[in-house]
Every structure is written in structure tokens, then in C-alpha cells.
Amino acid sequence: MDEYALIMRHEDGLKIASPEQIQIWMQQTMDWIAGIKAKEKYVSGTGLLFADAKVVKSNKMITNGPFGDIKETIGGLIVVKAESVEEAAEFAKGCPVLQGEGNTVEVRKIATH
């Protein structure tokens, strides 16, 4: 069985949400992860905060962001065990981040040594 990263990408402009809406989304995400855990396919995961973010460019320039330079932002990721990329993509289909217009979940196989 291989491991896959499910990378949550926000393209909805990170619209300002009320604290109540954020709580709803967090609960939906916890419920989604609990479903994967129930199948014993969850490995790990984390959310990524947007405050205090920096981007280091190839020319070594450091900028605040990535918000000014790109419209897409990575909000977090989880790692799952799956028999195939198709199975991992099925897990991704249930991700609550997909409720936002233009948002995506990228599915990538994790390289092994």
C-alpha cells in the first residue's frame, strides 16, 4: 500500500468568513478525516496558517505572501494510505474544501526511499 498526499488548494480568494462559518468548516473537515481514520487509511495531516507566511524566490528574494503573487493558496494537507491513486482521489472527493468555488485537492503519491 502506498501513501498519498491530499493537498488542499484554495482558489476562492480566501473569502472572509465569520467565526461561525469557520467552525462549521473545521467540523466538516474533522468529520471527513474521521471517516478516513475509520477505514484505517489516515497517516497524518496538518492545516497551514496564512498569517506570517513568506515566499522565498529563486533569486533569493523574500516576500510576504504568497497572497500578492498567486491567487491559489495551500490551506493544508493530509497523508493517506491507499491501494491506488484512484482510491486516494476518492478520499479527496469528500474534502470540504471543495465547497469553495475553484478550490481543488491535489493527489500526489509520496516518494519512497
DSSP secondary structure letter of residue 67: T
Sign of CA dihedral 11, 12, 16, 20: negative
Lay out the sheet containing 2-10: strands in order across.
Answer: 42-47, 73-82, 2-10, 104-109
CATH of the domain at 59: 3.30.70.1060
Query: Rounded CA gap, 52 and 42, in Å?
Result: 29
Residue with grid cell 498526499, as numbered in its chain:
5
Q: What is the pLDDT of residues 85-103, one digit of tens each?
A: 999 999 999 999 898 888 8
Structural domain total, the chain = 1
Query: Rounded CA gap, 41 and 64, in Å?
Result: 36
Give the pLDDT score at 16: 62
Q: What is the pLDDT of residues 31-74, one digit of tens each?
A: 999 999 999 999 999 988 777 788 888 899 888 765 555 566 78
Q: By residue range, what is the domain housing residue 77?
A: 2-109
